Structure 1
C-alpha cells in the first residue's frame, strides 16, 4: 500500500523505519527510546517477518506516535523496501534505525537541525558513542547507560559535517525524503543483505551525504538474527563488494580491498577464533565465492543454496 501525497513534505516530520527479525526485546527498548524524543517521530514503521518478531501488544499500545506494521519475507532489503512503501506523503525525512540501536533523546531533533542547516545535503549518519558490531556486542543496559550519560551532559546540537562519505552506515542513517524518491534497496542481496546500506547511499550524488555529530547513539551489535551461518556471510563478504563494484555503487578501491581484507582476516582468525564469529565457516564461504568468481558465476543470491 502506498500513501498518496496529500501534504507537502516537512523536514520536521520524520518517519523511522526499523527492519527486525527475532529481537522483540530490542525492538521494545528502541520504541521506548523513541517515545522519549525531544521531537517525536511522525511515523514509526516496523517491518517484520511475523508477529513473533514484535514486542507484546501493551508495549506497542503505550507509544505516543503512529506505528505502522508490515509483515513479509525476511531479508534486510525487502523489509526496508516494504517500510518505504508505507511512508506517508507528509514525511520530510526518512530514518533507518537498526533494532539494536539505542538513540539519544535528541536524535530526531538533531536530524531536523542538520537538514535545516544544510539544505544541500541528501543524507546523514550520526555519531556512534560505541559500536558492538566488531566485538562480542554491548548489552542493552550498558548501551542505555552510555546514552543516558551523554544526554545528561548534552549542551546543544552540533550540526557540523565531519566528512562526506560515498555512503552511510545503515544502523543510524537518515535521508531527505525528496532525495530518495524512487530509490530501493537491492533485493538481489538476500537475507542479511551485507552492504545494502552502502549500495543504497551509493546511488545518490557524491558529496551530498555526511557524517555528523548532530545525532548520536549506541549500536549494540546484537548477535541474534545476524550471523546464523558463517558460510553464507563469508560468501557475501567476497561476492557482494564485487557485485556492487560492477554495479557502480561502490568505489573501485573499496570494492577490491574489502574482499581481500575479509579473506585474510577469516583465514588468520581460524587460528584464534572469537567465540561470537564462525571464522571457519566464513573462510569456507570466502573460498566458494572465489571459485564462483573464477567460474564466472558469482551471484549474491547463491547464499540461498549454501
Structure 2
C-alpha cells in the first residue's frame, strides 16, 4: 500500500507475447472477483463502486470488507442491487480485511484487490484479464498508475476522472516483470492462491505496511509478478483512514526487518527501506508537510529501532502504541 516498492525492478524485462513455460491458463471470458478493504472513506468508496459499474467488462462479483457500518453507508441501495455487492465485516486492518475477502473466493479465475481510493480506467479489468490469459505463467499483476496522490497531498475524484478520460488507449499489451504488486491495485490467479494457501500476514496490523509486497513476493518462486502497462488508473492517496503517525512510523522499521527474516523481502532492500524512511522523517520533521505527521512517524521509527536493538521484532505491537494526536 505504498508507492515506492512497486517501482523497484532488480531486472526488468518486457514481454509482448506469451511465455512458453505455461502453467494454468485463464479463459478470455474469465470471472473476476473485485475485493475492496475499506475504512473511513464512505463517499469515496461509493464513487468507486459507481465507477466499477462502468467497466467495459463488469466484475463477476464485488466483495467489500468493512470495519464499521459507517464505512459503507454512502453506497446507494440501487447501486448495491445493480452491482450485487457482497458485504463482509471483521477486525480493522488491511491484511485481515483482505483475508476475509479471500475466504469468499469460489470458482473465480482472478481476484482483483483495489484500495477504496483507486479509480480504474474503464478498460482496466479487460486489460487484466488479457494479461493473465496471454501469459499463463503470471500469478500476480499490478497496473500502471496515471497519477499517485500518495506521493503528495492527495488527489480529488475529479482529478482521477479527468486523467482516466484523457488517457489514450494503448493498442499493444505490455507486461513487464515487477518487484512486487502495489496494494492499491493488484490481481492474482485464484488457482495459485488456493493451491499454495497464500494469505495476507495478519501479524502486520492496521495499515499493514508492506503486506502487499509480502503477499505477492511469496508467489514468486512459482510464477511471475508483473506490471500491466495497459491496465491504468489513478490512486487518490486520500489521507483519511490512515491512523496514527507513530504506528505507521513503527511499522516502517519493524515490518521491513520482520519480512526480511521471513524471507519475502531481501535484506538489502529491507535495510535500505528502513534507513530511508528514518532519514526522510528525521529531516522533514523540522518543516513537516501539513498532510503528514512527520514527527509522529519519526517517534515511531525510533521506537522501532529500539525494538530492533532489543531483538524484539513484533510488528503487531504497532496496534497498541500510543496514538499521535496529529493525523498521519
Per-residue deviation, residues 201-233 of structure 1 (Å, max 9, x unmatched)? 11112561101213110000000001x211111
Q: Counterpart in 1 of 2:7? A: none
Q: Counterpart of 1:225?
A: 241
- DSSP-derived class of the 1:169 partner: coil
The answer to whether the Cα contact below 8 Å between 1:42 and 1:66 also exists between their aligned partners in 2 is: no
Which runs of 5 or more structure 1 residues have no equivalent in the other structure?
Answer: 1-7
Provide the alpha-carbon RMSD of the alignment. 1.7
Counterpart contact for 2:46–2:75, Cα < 8 Å: no
Answer whether contact 2:140 2:225 (CA < 8 A) is retained: yes
For structure 2, list consecutive stretches of 5 or more residues without a partner in the other structure: 1-24, 322-328
For residue 47 of structure 2, the aligned residue among 18, 21, 29 is: 29
> Is the deviation greater in 177-186 or in 55-64?
55-64
Look up the match of 1:291. Answer: 306
Following TM superposition, the consecutive aligned residue runs of length 4 or more in structure 1 with deviations greater than 2 angstroms are: 8-11, 55-66, 153-156
Are 2:293 and 1:275 aligned? no
SS in 2 for 1:64: helix
Structure-1 separation of matches of 2:125 and 2:105: 16
2:32 and 2:84 mapped to 1: Cα distance? 11
CA–CA separation in structure 2 for the residues paired with 1:204 and 1:229:
31
Whether the aligned pair in 2 keeps the contact of 1:269 and 1:279 (CA below 8 Å) is: yes
- In the alignment, the residues of structure 1 paired with residue 82 and residue 229 of structure 2 have an alpha-carbon distance, to the nearest angstrom, of 26
TM-score by length of 2: 0.86
How far the C-alpha of 1:78 sits from its partner, in A, is 0.5
| 1:143-201 Cα deviation digits (max 9, x unpaired) | 11111112xx3254x32123x12321011110111111121100000001010000001
Q: Residue 44 of structure 1 corresponds to which residue in structure 2? A: 62
Aligned to 1:108: 125
Deviations for 1:241-282, whole angstroms, at most 9, x for unmatched residues? 000000001112111100000110000011221111111111
What TM-score comes out, normalization by structure 1 length? 0.92
Give the count of matched residue pairs: 293
- Of the candidates 53, 56, 59, which is equivalent to residue 71 of structure 2? 53
Partner of 1:159: 173
Identify the residue that residue 75 of structure 1 maps to in structure 2: 93
1:55 Cα offset (Å): 3.9
Matches within 5 A, 1:1-306: 12-56=30-74, 58-59=76-77, 61=79, 64-89=82-107, 91-150=108-167, 153-154=168-169, 156=171, 158-162=172-176, 164-181=177-194, 182-206=197-221, 208-226=224-242, 228-306=243-321
SS at match of 2:109: strand
**Mapped contact 2:66–2:87 kept (Cα < 8 A):** yes
Asked whether the 8 Å contact 1:35–1:63 carries over to 2, the reply is no
Q: Matched residue of 2:30: which SS?
A: strand
Task: Report if aligned partners of 1:27, 1:55 keep a CA contact under 8 Å in 2.
Answer: no
